[in-house]
Structure 1
Amino acid sequence: MAQPRYKELVDTLAADIRSGRLRAGTRLPTHRQLASERGLALVTATRVYAELAAMGLVSGETGRGTFVREISLRPRQGIDQFALAAGMVDLNFNYPALPGQADLLRGALRQLAASGDLESLLRYQPHGGRQHERAAVARHLASRGLEVGWEQVSLVNGAQAGLASTVMALLSPGDVVAVDTLTYPGFRVLAEACRLELAPIPADGQGFDLDALERLCRTRRVRAVYVMPTLHNPLSWVTSAQWRKQLVSIARRHGLLIVEDAAYAFLADKPPAPLAALAPETTVYVSGFSKSVATGLRVGFVVASAESMQAIERIIRATTWNTPGVMTSIACAWLEDGTVKRLEAEKRRDAKIRQAMAAEILAGLNCVRHPSSYFVWLPLSEEVRADQVAAALMRERISVSTAEPYATSHHVPHAVRLALGSVELDVLRESLETVRRVISGYAY
């Protein structure tokens, strides 16, 4: 059977893109122009571009048109880490480590092997963790301005598992969740899996626009808001105390659940009080030790009210049952002996060194950054396409992320995110110099 004519056009354009006859960045005819040139109905021309977009070959940009995408980049959703080729520099994912951490692990394992409680680690643990371990996390949180009892803490398999447990326990498919227009990709993927509707809120200086959130709540039945008030990923902001109080007021007025992601909060010097300290009855606070200690230490924690905690622990029971006893024991021992506190202080210094280097090398470029964060956001000028920059850097053996995994609105800005925490300082310097050269080459 002969295929429809528009299918032939889809195949022809797809072949031209894949062969390089239509190069990345090429602006394609408007829908009306394509319809006129090919003798198609406008709705059919729109369908052609929709199929090409679904194939990952073109992208439509509001107010600009439809462009051929850079297809040499491997598609990914921002949290799907893959093995980099030998010699590839990773400025896409952050897994900050310090010299000597492997020795810390060796010592911790020896100490654990000599303990008298070793056999208990081979058995099931309580779903939220053992009481003394939850108490250790509660004492740790007190140093961050969050005073809670041990019963308000549950241990989870990393912050991502904490977010998943929270969403599965407290939200339902179809619920509307307000988020930043640019947000953590892991929450985007989680929301898609749990069939949540994300309602993007535009940024307003250092934080999203609270007036826009208020307007949204008046017109939609918003169930929750997902926020990163301290060291936002990817925009690095630390919201003010006044902003936090205003958000809490809106949440209370409209009955919103606040999901506070504090994965990078340890990097900020003396930030305002967490939202969970201002509104403990409506906030779930999620963090972990992946960034502050090591990504392989899959231990995180959730702080919530008694009612919410019961629901969260039911989900932990239904999914992971409990955190691994050995990993949890090591993490809590490091909390108690001051190792976590020391590592966090050293990583704050390390992040500042890396940010100072980035500020020096990238001077003159449009940078969104915080002096204590492990990432830099680089919005690109109107004539520069992010996928082309990322592909050019890939050819230079440098992996970066574009804005696509972070965007929650239809408009995806042209920008790249640089993770600074995963390579040695000399490699980072050389890589940042390459980033500057590549971007400058496209801009001028």
Structure 2
Amino acid sequence: MPKVLNNIKQLADANSPIDMTRTMAPDVPSFREYIIEGLGQIAALPELSGIVQRHRFHGSTQDKAVAAQWLGRRLGSAPDPPRLLLTGGTQNILMILFSRLVPKGSVIAAEKLTYAAIGQLAMLAGVSVLPVDIDSDGLRADALEEICRSHRVAVAYTNPTNHNPTTSIMSTERRQSIADVARRYGVALIEDDVHGFITKHAPPPIATIAPELTWYMMTVSKCLGIGLRAAYLVAPNADKLAQLLACIPSVSTWFVPGLSAALITNLIETGAAEEIARSISVEVGLRQAIAQEILGPLKGMHTNNSSLHVWLDLPHAWTIEDFVNAAAKAGVTLRHPNVFAVPGTEVKSNIRLSLVAPARHSDLREGLFRIAGLLQSRL
């Protein structure tokens, strides 16, 4: 890049707001090389035209066999391939599950603070979501039981490992209690293990405790890359999966893109997927250390060393709206936390800060220093 243009770009970067909204897999060493190598190997395959020009449906026999072994790292053992689908992403899975598993008059139960798309997907599926209280250990089993007693709960959605947005990691004991409640009331569980592969010392999924009830989801968006638009679904058993698919065999919106499927399978087979996920985990740890250095002394920061974000208690002198607006004036873009609130719930004193949205450590530091300055101004 010519020097003049490079100087202009640096000036534009310096004046651009620091985005701390979205969470995604951060760039890590060797990622580009792994992707280039994988794509090169796929391009040399004799079946390349078919990969690009034909439906991959829910993954080839090879995709499922390779994925089963990979998912077995989280599930304790490889699930039978007939229980497994490779799909076009978590939201596609949720849309289908909400539509097919929740009969008319029944509801979905979910953590009162949860993945931002849950309410929107439930609305599109024509079903209601009820908020379940949470604590520092995640979804409360007693609160889930209370809702199951008073409502026709068909499905409970939970994100127990590195919960979005609070960063809690549910204990094994709590996971067992959630499974016990689901069994008592015949409630299906949808377990979103999106952070499972990048969370250090993550407890085994609920799917290992109650496999007969659990629809287990693992996306590659955090451990490889969101642009692959792919996620795995492991059903309780092959029959339930067949029943799910029976009425919607031609709904291609949740089919996996063929090139993405081929690349993911290649990355798993070559060991690159494991190396990328490990590198992401290391990078997240470095960013968490920066957050602890700058925000830790101010107290009120909820996180762990594997979370892509932190969940921050705001001083009472700040309203969320004022803080978001003040951050914007200071050059930091934040997301209003009510996007994570299930209808009927309101966030009044917390904010989520993405540690991975800023591309560089220097940007992250600058953004956190600006946030720290705002916090200190009203302590």
Q: What is the alpha-carbon distance in structure 2 between the residues aligned to residue 383 and residue 281 of structure 1?
A: 48
Letter in 1 for 2:231: G
Of the three residues 23, 35, 38, the one matched with 1:94 is 23
Look up the SS of the partner of 1:296 in the other structure.
helix
Q: What is the alpha-carbon distance in structure 1 between the residues aligned to residue 15 and residue 270 of structure 2?
A: 38
Q: Does residue 336 in structure 1 map to residue 266 in structure 2? A: no
Correspondence 1:118-157 to 2 at 5 A: 118-125=48-55, 127-147=57-77, 148-157=79-88
Q: Does residue 309 in structure 1 map to residue 241 in structure 2? A: yes
Q: Retained in 2: the 8 A contact 1:174–1:197? A: no
Q: Retained in 2: the 8 A contact 1:136–1:336? A: yes
Q: What is the alpha-carbon distance in structure 1 between the residues aligned to residue 254 and residue 298 of structure 2?
A: 51
Q: Retained in 2: the 8 A contact 1:125–1:325? A: yes
Identical amino acids, percent of aligned pairs = 28
Q: Does residue 400 in structure 1 map to residue 334 in structure 2? A: yes
Q: What is the alpha-carbon distance in structure 1 between the residues aligned to residue 95 and residue 29 of structure 2?
A: 32
Q: Does residue 299 in structure 1 map to residue 249 in structure 2? A: no
Higher relative contact order (CA 8 A, sep 6+): 2
Q: Retained in 2: the 8 A contact 1:201–1:209? A: yes
Q: Which residue of the partner structure matches residue 356 of structure 2?
A: 421
Q: What per-residue deviation string (whole Å, max 9, x for no partner) do you get for residues 339-358 of structure 1?
A: 11001111111111111111
Q: Flag the structure with larger Rg.
A: 1
Correspondence 1:246-261 to 2 at 5 A: 246-261=177-192
Letter in 2 for 1:428: L
Residues 204 and 122 (structure 1), Cα distance of their counterparts in 2 relative to 1, 3 Å cut = closer
Q: What is the alpha-carbon distance in structure 2 between the residues aligned to residue 302 and residue 86 of structure 1?
A: 42
Look up the SS of the partner of 2:347 in the other structure.
coil
Q: Retained in 2: the 8 A contact 1:248–1:275? A: yes
CA displacement at 1:174 relative to structure 2: 4.4
Q: Does residue 365 in structure 1 map to residue 294 in structure 2? A: no
Q: Retained in 2: the 8 A contact 1:154–1:302? A: yes
Of the three residues 148, 151, 170, the one matched with 1:220 is 151
Q: Which residue of the partner structure matches residue 279 of structure 1?
A: 210
Q: Retained in 2: the 8 A contact 1:146–1:277? A: yes
Q: What is the alpha-carbon distance in structure 1 between the residues aligned to residue 155 and residue 48 of structure 2?
A: 41
Q: What is the alpha-carbon distance in structure 1 between the residues aligned to residue 119 and residue 199 of structure 2?
A: 24
Q: What is the alpha-carbon distance in structure 1 between the residues aligned to residue 221 and residue 173 of structure 2?
A: 29
Residues 86 and 436 (structure 1), Cα distance of their counterparts in 2 relative to 1, 3 Å cut = closer
Figure out how many residues of one structure are paired with residues of the other and give that number: 360
Residues 381 and 307 (structure 1), Cα distance of their counterparts in 2 relative to 1, 3 Å cut = farther
Q: What is the alpha-carbon distance in structure 1 between the residues aligned to residue 260 and residue 288 of structure 2?
A: 31
Q: Retained in 1: the 8 A contact 2:139–2:158? A: no
Q: Retained in 1: the 8 A contact 2:90–2:231? A: yes
Letter in 1 for 2:277: E
Q: What is the alpha-carbon distance in structure 1 between the residues aligned to residue 254 and residue 87 of structure 2?
A: 9
Q: What is the alpha-carbon distance in structure 1 between the residues aligned to residue 187 and residue 86 of structure 2?
A: 24
Q: What is the alpha-carbon distance in structure 2 between the residues aligned to residue 321 and residue 262 of structure 1?
A: 19
Of the three residues 338, 348, 355, the one matched with 2:288 is 355
Q: What is the alpha-carbon distance in structure 1 between the residues aligned to residue 315 and residue 374 of structure 2?
A: 13
Q: Does residue 410 in structure 1 map to residue 367 in structure 2? A: no
Q: What is the alpha-carbon distance in structure 2 between the residues aligned to residue 410 and residue 93 of structure 1?
A: 21
Q: Retained in 1: the 8 A contact 2:154–2:188? A: yes
Q: Does residue 193 in structure 1 map to residue 111 in structure 2? A: no
Look up the SS of the partner of 1:115 in the other structure.
coil
Q: Which runs of 5 or more residues in structure 2 are unaligned?
A: 1-12
Of the three residues 241, 247, 253, the one matched with 1:320 is 253
CA displacement at 1:387 relative to structure 2: 1.3
Q: Retained in 2: the 8 A contact 1:207–1:237? A: yes
TM-score (norm 2): 0.90
Q: Does residue 390 in structure 1 map to residue 315 in structure 2? A: no
CA displacement at 1:413 relative to structure 2: 2.1
